[in-house]
Amino acid sequence: MKRARIATCLANILDHFDTSLYGFLVPILAPLFFPKNNQVVLLIQGYGIVIIGFITRPLGAWYFSKQADVVGPHQVLLTTILGMTITTLCFTLLQPYECWGIGSAIGLCLLRGIQNFFGAGETSIAGLYVLEGAEANQQHPLTSMYLSSTMIGILLACGVSSVLFFSDTPQLYWKWPFYGSLVTGFTGWWLRRQCNLKPPHKKLSQSKNDWKGIVRLIPITGFSYILYAAPFVFFNSFAPLVTKINIKDLMSSNTLLMFFDLGLLALLGPIIRQMDSKKLLLKISAISVCIMPLLFLYIPFAELFEAVIIRMVIITLGVAFCIPLHRWYMEEIPEHNRYSTTAIGYAIGSEIFGRSFPAVGLALWHITQQPIVPGLYIALVGLWAFLSIRLNNFRR
């Protein structure tokens, strides 16, 4: 199992490199694939295609989690990473709006939908898989290790994207990072294939969906994703609109902040090893509800250094929330439907509140012209997550 965990984390690095590219490249891709419009509307359109994931991610989560409960997560993860690799590579076949018209935007939406279908199985199953058979006092460190591999993959994608932003004509080279998915994705698939684990023998009828539990997880998983999307994705588009900070400086600071995130993961995992996961989640969500509106209220007055501090605060809250979350899954959700409950709940929550946040946050600001409003939105989701964590309604 140790070898399988290492292979899963290495594959996870390569997987998140593939899937993070689009989010970082939206400021470049939106003007290429959508009708000419003002900057804010283009960004909203670019981030807004996550709406297709409202359908495809829950479907993917339902399908792959059922398979994980029946044939085992290892076999399912081989399929998901292969599907994501091929889909990401297909982005290079797309042509800009000038050539295909509205067909370019439709093609972008379809590929993102297919990528989300496979990604739903990948992101929700792998995080629990690395905790299989682990002692309770090892679960937080193992989660830190897994989340670190996620951040390394995102860091690689950020670095490649930053190179494009600093080029004179990034529109000419946007396909090159996607070509890299052929190497990274198949390498991850090969690494997983080296661990030949025997699948469990289960009957499909033994694994029933706990829909009350899934609904309970939606705001919790959505909030955990927002705490990543806000500092690393949303901020890059939002700050240039309300401050004098340019996107190149923000992308450069992104790389430093990801190293900061990695350092926190390595530090906090062992420190909170013995702490109660539920109490930690309640404390972090409560602090976030109180502090998030204040941070966003200050953003228009921030210089680059102050913007980095604001993002560091949000990242710290996100890391402190995500590390105990996976152990809480293991403690709260019964084994017979753990993969299906977490996968479907995560897929819906991450789409409704997480991946949609860059588009929703920009739209809220565009309508109100009040920088605090996106922060109030995060606080409301955090409050809902807090109340959901306090409940005890998972079936045993």
Q: Are 94 and 104 in contact (CB under 8 A)?
A: yes
Q: Kindly report the CATH number assigned to the domain that includes residue 275.
A: 1.20.1250.20
Q: Which two tokens stand for residue 378?
A: 């995060």
In this prediction, residue 205 carries a pLDDT of: 43
Q: Which two tokens stand for residue 381?
A: 């989701």
Confidence at residue 3, expressed as pLDDT on a 0 to 100 scale: 65
d(C-alpha 7, C-alpha 129), whole Å: 11
pLDDT in the model for residue 204: 44
Domain assignment of residue 267, yes or no: yes
The tens digit of pLDDT for each residue in 241-255 reads: 999 888 778 877 888
Average pLDDT score over residue span 228-248: 88
- Whether 199 is covered by a domain: the verdict is no
pLDDT tens column, 7-63: 777 777 776 777 777 877 888 888 888 887 777 788 778 877 767 877 888 888 888
Q: What pLDDT digit, counting tens, does each position of 257-302 carry?
A: 888 988 888 888 788 777 888 999 999 999 999 999 999 999 999 9
> Does the residue 203 lie in any domain?
no
Full DSSP string of 217-266: HHHHHHHHHHHHHIIIIIHHHHHHHHSS--HHHHHHHHHHHHHHHHHHHH
pTM of the complete model: 0.76
Q: How many domains does the chain have?
A: 1
In a domain, 353, yes or no: yes
Is pLDDT above 70 for 206? no
Half-sphere exposure of 176 (CA within 13 A, CB side): 10
Radius of gyration of the chain measured on its C-alpha atoms: 20
Confidence of residue 88 (pLDDT cuts 50, 70, 90): confident
In a domain, 172, yes or no: yes
364 in a structural domain: yes
pLDDT of residue 201: 46
Q: 190 is in which domain, residue-wise? A: 2-194+210-390
